[in-house]
Structure 1
Amino acid sequence: MRFAFRFRLIPAIAALLLAVLGIVLGNWQQGRAEQKSALQARQAARAAEPPLALGPDLAAAAPLEYRRVKVSGQFVAGWPLFLANRPLKGQAGLYLVMPFKIAGSDTHVLVLRGWLPRQAEYGKLPAFATPGGAVTLEGVVVASAGQVMELGTQAPLAPGAIVQNLEPGAVARASSLALQPFFVQQTVPAGPGDDLARDWPLPSAGIDKHRGYAFQWYALAAMAILFFVITGFRSGSRQRN
């Protein structure tokens, strides 16, 4: 039995475009998975290192990112900031961010102190306690507090502002404080009453999701070529008969 194949230009172009699209997007998702795997390995390696004493000298974020650090000083209680749209275990909430003056200097670092539940009345600030006097913090250096979609115009940076996203440079300009160009994600209480939730999300999460998406895009590319071949043989057989 002989098979006949009918080549048609438009279906061939459509199949080729779909196949290329599937391969390109599949490679992109696979690349994202590999990036996050490398990030996960770097996090694990730096988490195994002993805590680093964070001093007042300004330092770049990249060499310190994901390092455990200890820093002594005191909170600038008059400059609390709140990051909105930060849910925890399905509950709406905010991250409390506060400048921390490093002991023996005028240098500060922004501390992600923890999570607070959002109040029923929008714009109403939740209650929280701030340790007074000199304390020693333990945490992890992160270059970003995470990015969420900004809805509407962001409020001007001022004490008590609720914002969607935050950068140390913007806080430095608004507060006139000398700030390190990164955040310290607090991991343990700094004193009595410092009981904020600190179940921080892992930036390397989602590796399996990216691999699943990559498989779907590769499958689309394969199906486009397979569909073109099958319909070509069917059309050729009908034409021959």
Structure 2
Amino acid sequence: MMRARRVRFVLVTLATVVAVLLTAALGVWQLGRAHTKREWLAVQAQQAALPPLDWAGVADAAARGALPAMAGRAVRLRGRWVGEATVFLDNRPMNGRAGFVVVTPLQPEAGGPALLVQRGWVARRVDDRQALPALATPTGVVEVEGRLAPPPSRLLAFGPDTPGPIRQNIDCATSFL
């Protein structure tokens, strides 16, 4: 009887120590995540305080491979929408509604490589999954103000994306022009 009590005491004590250590480790992990998020927010604030980039600044950053590090940086670009290359990223719900994230290339007035612009979210039709929503895309020169951002997140795909305007994911290097 005494041996059973001792074994039970040791097991309970061991389980308590393991639970305390696990909880402490999770707390340290959360503190690390908070630190990482604070650093990210500080970088975002620094980028937001800088003056907007124009096409020359974007091209220079792209040539140096610095665009990913400039997420959050303001841009002011003049160019033409390449409406025929608009991509509707599927399975992007918002507020409980099914819809698309709309991505359209913007080409500089003088020509040259285009920049993908995430134009926002649109609801999809419930009765026809292949129907594209009406989307006004101005012709002619437009001025776009926004912020540099990483590419849209990739969703699980069970095979390669088929070409066409509705896609699951987008490969920024090869999806247009």
1:161 equivalenced with 2:162 (yes/no): no
Unaligned runs of 5+ in 2: 1-5
Instruction: Name the amino acid aligned to 1:77.
Output: G
Q: Partners in 2 of 1:135 and 1:31 — Cα distance?
A: 43
Q: Secondary structure at the match of 1:45?
A: helix
Aligned match of 2:53: 52
Q: 2:47 touches 2:70 (CA, 8 Å); kept in 1? A: no
Q: Partners in 1 of 2:164 and 2:143 — Cα distance?
A: 23
Per-residue CA distance 1:167-201 (angstroms, 9 max, x = gap): 413xx2x54x4xxxxxxxxxxxxxxxxxxxxxxxx
Per-residue CA distance 1:197-222 (angstroms, 9 max, x = gap): xxxxxxxxxxxxxxxxxxxxxxxxxx
Aligned match of 2:91: 85
Q: Superposed, which structure 2 residues align to 1:196-235 within 5 Å?
A: none
1:26 equivalenced with 2:31 (yes/no): no
Unaligned runs of 5+ in 1: 1-5, 178-241
* Stretch of structure 1 that moved more, 12-21 or 68-77: 12-21
Q: Secondary structure at the match of 2:69?
A: coil
Q: Partners in 2 of 1:89 and 1:111 — Cα distance?
A: 22
TM-score (norm 2): 0.78
Q: 1:75 touches 1:101 (CA, 8 Å); kept in 2? A: yes
TM-score (norm 1): 0.59
Instruction: Name the amino acid aligned to 2:167.
Output: I
* CA apart distance, 1:18: 2.4
* Stretch of structure 1 that moved more, 85-94 or 60-69: 85-94
Aligned match of 2:118: 112
1:36 equivalenced with 2:48 (yes/no): no
Q: 1:80 touches 1:159 (CA, 8 Å); kept in 2? A: no
State which structure, 1 or 2, has the greater radius of gyration over its C-alpha atoms. 1
Aligned match of 2:144: 137
Q: Secondary structure at the match of 2:39?
A: helix
